[in-house]
Amino acid sequence: MNEPTQITSVDAQDRGFKGNVDRVEVEQSVLRLHGWAINARGEPVVDLAVVLDGCELPLWELRRCVRDDVPKVLPYASPFCGFDLLVSLIVLPKSAGLLNVIARESRAGVGKILSAGPGAKINWEHVWRVRGAVPRWRLGRVDESVGKNNSAPLPIPVSVAPDARRVSAVNFVAVYGMPSNGKTWLCQTLSTLDEILWLHSDAIFYGNIAPNLDDKTEFWTYQSRPEGHFDIKKYVDSASYNQELFIRYLKEEIRRALQDQQDVQLVLLDGYVFKHHARIFADLGLPPERTLALGVSSEKGRYFAGEFDVTGCRYDEVLEHIRQIFRTKCLETTVPKSRYQNLDALGLREQGDNLASSDSDTPSKYAASRLDNIVHAEDRFADIGCNAGFFCFRVAEKTSGWVNGVDMVRSWLEVASHINNSIFRFRNVVFFEADAIDFLMEKTDSYEVVHCSSTYHYFRERQVDFLKAVRGALSRHGTLVLEVELADTGTNPEVIKRSRGVDASPCAFPNRAMFLEQIRGLFQVGAEFDSVFQRGSFYERKYFHLRPEPIL
């Protein structure tokens, strides 16, 4: 029988990290590594990794926990430095040797191996026995090839290139307080509860500001580490603090982070500097409805986040409190900006009584579209000319497939995105500022349903180009749900061009004969319904369900 393999014991003091892996346990379908880790400032280490024979393993879960024993030995250490690292047994190869836990400040940063306690030993034969007894459904859906060839690295997820046309009105929370008051631990814990981006200001001060200061001694201390420690609090409270410089670096960090993590709906800004949150939010150009400040403090060994005592936990309550504030702000400020679409039917009226009147009877138009009859549980959907997102939100209730709203007016898209980020929080809804034809031409076979209302006349001379682009974007059995304002000019095919007060140039209104000519060879009419009359319309509107013509 093979002897149990002990985790390599390497002290991490040379980079300011301290920590220990106390014990390793096998529980059901996971390997659990329990321990603690702090950086040179006594704060919980930002990032932890499990590395087996030189290959980093994907974490099933990272749990944070309180370790009251650590501050008794290291008084400057935060009690929130404990961790439980869970690794799914399925990712472990059939033979294994050296297992390490790495402490590091970021995924891209250089890390150091934590030391190991007497209980940090692994009997691999026991691991294989447990792994073999675990039902496949417990191990989750993974690639069957993982672990079969232990000489090959584990598969790395393929990242999707960011789309610069994507519009997301993200909410921001400034978490501020005195150093070592638990704000970093709070942010780190909240960021594990949902798709939340956590940005720590320390990286900006240490990496960008401190190295470029003219005076290299005024804000440096040498008590906790030989190479010196930059005192952020002292700098921020001094006359040398350069807000403009900090904002410049912060903007770039936010831009880069949101580009890398485009599904984020909430950003936590962590640092003592955010005591200046009002000035910082103003300099970032963020409207009040998308910002919140949360003060963190400690008293007699207890930690508080705003009104919440989070010494034990209650982090889910803090997150719900944050969400409720942004929901209220959105209802009071953002929703009334939707002056075209009527959002009453989305169930917002009972939560806020400040909804503005609208130019379109959107709920009746949605009913006229019969989308509920054709959108199925996993269908992919696009709304062309989405405005404030009404149709996207209604469809997202029916399908788990992606739901894309496309428009050329960014202010409407920001309203739609903020409503989603603050109220609905649909993960499959994404809004794009783009020319509809260009967007659709890039989306070959991407949608089961494409919807377009109150928009077709704006394509003017490009109406057939739009139809062709939709034809390519639809799946084989897809449907174009198209609202058309049909000119009532007889049986000869023609397009009437007319302007309304809001139009920069005349719009194009085909009569029925011309519309049937436009769709010839591209679509067949599957169904036709009356749409609702809309203020400012010249003619009656019809909804068509169009099915792609077979490609010969």
CA–CA separation, 92 vs 100, rounded Å? 14
Q: Are strands 403-407 and 381-384 parallel, antiparallel or unpaired?
A: parallel
CA–CA separation, 201 vs 537, rounded Å? 53
pLDDT value, residue 134: 40
Q: Which is higher by pLDDT, 158 or 324?
A: 324
CA–CA separation, 142 vs 308, rounded Å? 39
Owner of token pair 């209302």:
453
Q: Are strands 18-27 and 115-119 parallel, antiparallel or unpaired?
A: parallel
pLDDT value, residue 430: 96
CA–CA separation, 366 vs 531, rounded Å? 9
Owner of token pair 């705003």:
306
Coil vs helix vs strand at 271: coil
The pair of structure tokens assigned to 34 is 């329990």
Q: Which of 130-139, 211-220, 254-263, 281-290 has the lowest mean pLDDT?
A: 130-139
Residue 301 has pLDDT above 60, yes or no: yes
List pLDDT tens digits, range 482-539.
999 999 988 899 999 998 777 788 999 999 999 999 999 999 999 999 999 887 889 9
Owner of token pair 């930690």:
303
Predicted confidence band of residue 162 (pLDDT cuts 50, 70, 90): low
Instruction: Give, rounded to a whole angstrom, the gap between the first and last alpha carbons of the chain.
Output: 67
Contact status, residue 386 vs residue 431, Cβ threshold 8 Å: yes
Q: Which is higher by pLDDT, 455 or 149?
A: 455
Domain 5-139: CATH architecture, name and number where available: Sandwich (2.60)
The pair of structure tokens assigned to 227 is 């190479």
* Angle formed at CA 249 by CA 244 and CA 253, multiple of 5 degrees: 145
Contacts of 216 (CB under 8 A, 6+ apart): none
CA–CA separation, 507 vs 499, rounded Å? 6
Within 261-314, residue ranges assigned H as helices are 277-284
pLDDT value, residue 141: 28
pTM over 0.85: no
Residue 418 has pLDDT above 90, yes or no: yes
Residue 542 has pLDDT above 90, yes or no: yes
Contacts of 519 (CB under 8 A, 6+ apart): 467, 525, 546
CA–CA separation, 333 vs 329, rounded Å? 6
Torsion of CA 214, 217, 221, 226, to 10 degrees: 100
* Class of the domain covering 166-335: alpha beta
CA–CA separation, 228 vs 217, rounded Å? 10
C-alpha distances out from residue 180 to 46, 160, 311, 390, Å = 14, 37, 13, 45
280 in the Ramachandran plot: left (φ > 0), alpha (ψ -120 to 50) or beta? Answer: alpha
Q: What is the DSSP string of 104-138?
A: ESSTTS--EEPEEEEE-EE-HHHHHHHHHHS-HHH
pLDDT value, residue 2: 33
Question: Mutual orientation of helices 512-519 and 463-473 as an angle, nearest 10°?
Answer: 40
List pLDDT tens digits, range 309-343.
877 667 888 999 999 999 999 999 999 988 888 88
Residue 367 has pLDDT above 80, yes or no: yes
List pLDDT tens digits, range 379-399.
999 999 999 999 999 999 999
Residue 232, phi then psi, degrees to nearest 5: -65, -45
Which one, of 371, 368, 367, 378, lies nearest residue 402 by Cα?
A: 378
State the CB neighbour count (10 A cutoff) for residue 361. Answer: 18
The pair of structure tokens assigned to 382 is 């696009």
CA–CA separation, 425 vs 20, rounded Å? 38
CATH 3.40.50.150 domain range(s) in the chain: 358-548
Q: Which is higher by pLDDT, 223 or 510?
A: 510
C-alpha distances out from residue 408 to 166, 213, 418, Å = 11, 44, 17
Contacts of 177 (CB under 8 A, 6+ apart): 183, 272, 275, 295, 296, 297
Contacts of 33 (CB under 8 A, 6+ apart): 21, 23, 24, 50, 83, 84, 85, 87, 101, 120
Contact status, residue 22 vs residue 7, Cβ threshold 8 Å: no
pLDDT value, residue 393: 96
> What is the CATH T-level fold of the domain 358-548, as seen in this structure?
Rossmann fold (3.40.50)
Q: What is the mean pLDDT of residues 204-219?
A: 79
Which one, of 166, 193, 393, lies nearest residue 262 by Cα?
A: 166
CATH 2.60.40 domain range(s) in the chain: 5-139
